Amino acid sequence: MSFPIHRPRRLRLDKVIRNMVRETHLTPDDFIYPLFVTFGKGVRKKISSMPGCFQMSVDEIVKEAQSAFRLGIPAVILFGIPEHKDEKGAEAYNPKGVVQKAIRAIKDKVPDLVVITDVCMCEYMSHGHCGIVKKGQILNDPTLELLAKEALSHAKAGADMVAPSDMMDGRILAIRDILDINGFENIPIMSYAAKYASAFYSPFREAAESTPSFGDRRSYQMDPANRREAIKEVELDIEEGADIVMVKPAMCYMDIISDVKDTFDVPVAAYNVSGEYSMVKAAAKMGWIDEMKVVMELLTSIKRAGADLILTYHAVDAAKKLNK
Ligand code: PBG
């Protein structure tokens, strides 16, 4: 059966019919909005490589969270930029750390906004790696204890969900254990399960001041050339108790998003990362692309590939556009 019986254009000629047969609908409900929390007061410091994004002190974060919530964005994910960094990442699990303060402040003012926290050591370590370093090696098992402590301190501060992004083996189980022992058995874990060693994170590292001082993250994050390995990583994390699994980055990894969606029956998140954001912003600034059209196409495509949730710095702009 083919032309002239079939004319796919029949369903494209009219705007209303096009809308009726649309397969993917983006809504602000899909978004998780990443925020960078820093110390101080009244701070709203521009991140030069991520126009429109800021390092914000707790008071400013609350305002930002409030306006996101009003636009229908259901969740934020918090990243901390502590005042002090050391070899043990002590600020990561300080009950008075920046993230812990931000959680309390947001839950106080915007209680219905879901507060997710990024659980990782890189922002808190003087060397910028995601784990404990000894003789130039990033140690796996000793790092688990720190990650678990960090996740617990976020839960104690009132976080609704924790999201480990370090890629150490066994961290989901370690975090599930400590949360359960402490009565937080209802706090879900969103695992950065298939996280690639990507060059698309560099603007984030400026934003979070977390560039490794030596080497790179290829001994823990995945090789961008690998596809089957993503399934293995996701499977292990689900076995260890991950409630939501994430693929990161998103744009170059739509095959992975699609594979994960087809293979498993847990919600899939995709992280539209900093480098993806910055490229769009830069091209738009040059007048080479229509920013909002590109943003909507990108986010729709990430959802079409299989993402149930999208972490994106475009969340506020996209929600405004969708609410129009
Ligand atoms: C922390 C972390 C990173 C990102 C999220 N959590 C950076 C990294 O692994 O170096 C990247 C987010 C982005 O680029 O938007 N480990």
Query: What are 139's two structure tokens?
Result: 């140690």
- CA dihedral angle for residue 81, residue 85, residue 91, residue 92, rounded to 10 degrees: 70
Q: Tell me: the pLDDT tens digits for 108-163? A: 999 999 999 999 999 999 999 999 999 999 999 999 999 999 999 999 999 999 99
Ligand 1 atom index nearest CA of 166: 16
The whole-angstrom distance between residue 275's C-alpha and the CA centroid of its chain comes to 13
Ligand 1 atom index nearest CA of 277: 15
- Centre of ligand 1 from the C-alpha of residue 10, in Å: 45
Closest CA to 131 of 88, 186, 183, 187: 88
Query: What are 112's two structure tokens?
Result: 């219905």
- Residue 204 Cβ < 6 Å to ligand 1: yes
- Each residue's pLDDT, cut to its tens digit, for the chain (324 residues) gives 799 999 999 999 999 999 999 999 999 999 999 999 999 999 999 999 999 999 999 999 999 999 999 999 999 999 999 999 999 999 999 999 999 999 999 999 999 999 999 999 999 999 999 999 999 999 999 999 999 999 999 999 999 999 999 999 999 999 999 999 999 999 999 999 999 999 999 999 989 889 999 999 999 999 999 999 999 999 999 999 999 999 999 999 999 999 999 999 999 999 999 999 999 999 999 999 999 999 999 999 999 999 999 999 999 999 999 999
Handedness of CA 111, 114, 120, 122 (dihedral sign): negative
Q: Which amino acid is at 19?
A: N
Helical H runs in 182-313?
202-208, 228-239, 254-263, 274-285, 291-305
Residues in a beta bridge with 239: none
Residue 87 lies in a domain: yes
Ligand 1 atom index nearest CA of 211: 10
Number of domains in the chain: 1
The whole-angstrom distance between residue 108's C-alpha and the CA centroid of its chain comes to 23
- Residue 69 Cβ < 6 Å to ligand 1: no
Diameter of the chain measured on Cα atoms? 70
Query: Domain range holding 95?
Result: 8-322
Among 248, 261, 281, 303, the one annotated catalytic: 248
d(CA 249, CA 233): 15
Residues in a beta bridge with 45: 55
The protein residue whose alpha carbon is closest to atom 7 in ligand 1 is: 201
Q: Which amino acid is at 137?
A: Q
Taking the CA atoms of the chain, what radius of gyration do you get in angstroms? Answer: 20
Ligand 1 atom index nearest CA of 34: 15
Closest CA to 165 of 184, 187, 143, 134: 143
d(CA 288, CA 91): 42
SS3 253: helix
- Residue 273 Cβ < 6 Å to ligand 1: yes
Give yes or no: 195 in active site.
Answer: yes
Residue 123 lies in a domain: yes
Residue 12 lies in a domain: yes
- Centre of ligand 1 from the C-alpha of residue 204, in Å: 6
- Centre of ligand 1 from the C-alpha of residue 77, in Å: 12
Measure CA of the first residue to CA of the last residue in the chain; give whole Å. Answer: 41
CB atoms within 10 A of CB 106: 27
Give yes or no: 248 in active site.
Answer: yes
The CATH number linked to 142 is: 3.20.20.70
Is residue 301 within 8 Å of residue 258, measured between CB atoms? no
What pLDDT, on the 0 to 100 scale, is given for residue 204? 95
How do 75-81 and 31-38 pair as beta strands? parallel
- Residue 201 Cβ < 6 Å to ligand 1: yes
- Residue 124 Cβ < 6 Å to ligand 1: no
Query: What are 169's two structure tokens?
Result: 């083996």
Residue 1 lies in a domain: no
CA angle, residues 140, 32, 306, in degrees to nearest 5: 85
Q: Tell me: the pLDDT tens digits for 83-117? A: 999 999 999 999 999 999 999 999 999 999 999 99
